[in-house]
A and B are shown apart, each in its own frame.
Chain A
Amino acid sequence: MKKVIIVSIIVKKELRDILRDKSLLSSGLSILFFLALLNLTIFKHLPLSIDAFVFYIAPIIGVMLGFNLSNSFVREKRERIIETLLCTPINLPELWLGKVLGLSIPSWILTAISTISILILKKTVITSIIIVYILTVIPLAIISFIGLLGYLQYVLGMRQIQFLNYIVFFLIFTILFIIPKKLSTNNIISWNIIECMLTILLITIGLTFYLVKHLNIEKLITTVG
């Protein structure tokens, strides 16, 4: 029970911090710009499958937002705030979980709003399978991405983190480059696919949590410089 309370305090702190962070505004604007660009270019010329759009684009929006907000892990490490936090009753897995949830919630809300807005603008009928996908797969995808990124940022040194960020950034744009070719494919999202994705994502989250739980705090502390 005490652990749940501590995690919820950290979640609230992250949410409050994000609301005051100008990078959230810039993320929101970037997403709007990205969607407008898609609307004017790819969507206009390709026979767009809404199914494919939700399957590919929505998680990418969430991951982009999460990537932007996950800077919070590095900031606390770089400014050595994490050292003080770990001297309180907070344990590292609680801190990690609280931060992951706190950063994932706004990322998912913005992703869901932008995805649903596009669907409404395209006058699409939103099927139950799409709703389930948005409500389950997308938040878990965001959580597993932010969780893994947060873990790596805890383990790696500052220069390595910078390198990691370049790699993630490059990967996102590579995927964005590949996606348009797939956007006309119909009936991608099936119940089997959802089940399979949920299993993979839950395993990823569980595995990352295990790694965080067994992370040597000394490794975290000594990789700041």
Chain B
Amino acid sequence: MEWVIEVKNLVKDFNGKRVLHGITFQVVKGDLFGYLGPNGAGKTTTIKILLGLLKPTSGKALVLGEPLAKNSKIRSRIGVILESDGLFARFTAFENLDFYAKIYGLKNNAERKRRIMKLLELVNLYEYRNVKVGHFSRGMKRRLAFARALINNPRVLLLDEPTSGLDPEARNLVRNLLTKLSKEEKITIFLTSHDLNEIQKICSRVAILMNGKILAIDTIDNLIKNFSEPLVEISFIDENESQRVYEYLKNLTYVIDCKRYGEKISVILNKDQSKLLQDLLEINARIREITKPRKTLEEVYLELVRRGC
């Protein structure tokens, strides 16, 4: 397995206070990994340690197999968006990207210009290429930061709240772009976000962090599956039928809980739903619809955070 990001037993103390308690996770090539957690959970600290801006107290944090702190060669293969957009207010959008492109060693003038124009078009800022960034709105700056992070054609993107400050249209643009970069170009993306809907839409795997500890780490489907109760909702043709079935269900041993709301019954089971279906057929229950409601990532997250507290 090719690990692009590897964090092992990562511990970080600030002034004697432990903010990361031995975190371990790996991100494979082409993965779009979401890092979730409430404010102060340690998300930004983890990203800054990965980037070599903070030193780990113990443990290791590697990107492309190396710690980034003293490795400018590896740093030239990553793209970054942090809390600050990293832009110069007195420079135009074009000049900002031109500066970073030169730093990354894009020497050929024509090629550099072509790449900058392409990225400005990608983030819908081509018309504003000659406007000083100081005159940009928060959202425009964030979009330009996104173009800046892509200027070196990175193999890894480390993004701290990349869509904060963006309007819904721009969020959608960034979301689609991240999905495309991950799927088509196999760029590994590590991002933190408070927007759980966004994470659910684009990420393949997530880690949920709380008070410097990872509470859960898995694919979104597995997380939802593992944290969803075996709940089944059944609609009947009328209330009399639902009452009849309710009386029957509440006496079954594998039914943990059973609630009736008019024509509907919610059943929590301690085993697979196939046995329930079999029993319902045996009593000739007149069913309109059976559904198995899934939890959202947000519900799983809130439950985990509540438990973590």
The interface of chain A, by Cβ under 8 A from chain B, is 2, 5-6, 9, 13, 16-17, 20-21, 79-81, 83-91, 216-218, 221-222
Contact = CB atoms under 8 A, between A and B. Distances in A.
A88 B104 contact: yes
Interface string B191-211: 000000000000000000000
Nearest to A91: B72
B106 to A, nearest CB: 11
B99 interface: yes
Given A89-B72, A91-B72, A217-B69, A83 B53 contact: yes
Contacts of B85: 84
10 contacts: A17-B91, A79-B84, A80-B82, A80-B84, A81-B86, A81-B88, A83-B84, A87-B53, A89-B105, A217-B52
A87 B52 CA distance: 8
Given A9-B102, A89-B72, A89-B104, A217 B87 contact: no
Given A9-B99, A89-B104, A84 B72 contact: no
A80 B84 CA distance: 6
A83 B48 CA distance: 9
Nearest to A78: B84
Given A221-B48, A221-B53, A87 B78 contact: yes
A206 B2 CA distance: 43
B100 interface: yes
Interface of B: 14, 48, 51-55, 68-69, 72-73, 75-76, 78, 80, 82-88, 90-91, 95, 99-100, 102-105, 148
Nearest to B73: A89
A80 B103 CA distance: 18
A121 B70 CA distance: 53
A45 B148 CA distance: 58
Give the residue among A2, A83, A85, A216 with the most B Cβ atoms within 10 A: A83
B276 to A, nearest CB: 54
Q: Which 9 residue pairs are nearest across A and B when measured between Cβ atoms?
A: A84-B86, A80-B84, A89-B72, A87-B80, A20-B90, A89-B76, A9-B102, A88-B103, A221-B53
Given A87-B80, A89-B73, A221-B48, 5 more contacts: A81-B88, A84-B86, A87-B53, A89-B103, A217-B52
Contacts of B52: 86-87, 217
Contacts of B91: 16-17
Given A217-B52, A217-B69, A221-B48, A89 B75 contact: yes
Give the residue among B51, B53, B80, B83 with the most A Cβ atoms within 10 A: B53
A142 B205 CA distance: 53
Given A13-B99, A88-B103, A221-B54, A83 B90 contact: no
Given A9-B99, A221-B54, A88 B90 contact: no
A78 B14 CA distance: 20
A84 B54 contact: no
A218 B51 CA distance: 11
Nearest to A84: B86
A84 B80 contact: yes
Nearest to A8: B102
Contacts of B84: 79-81, 83-84
A13 B103 CA distance: 11
Contact of A87 (B51, B73, B102): B51
A6 B76 CA distance: 13
A85 B51 CA distance: 11
Contacts of A20: 90
A21 B134 CA distance: 12
A80 B53 contact: no
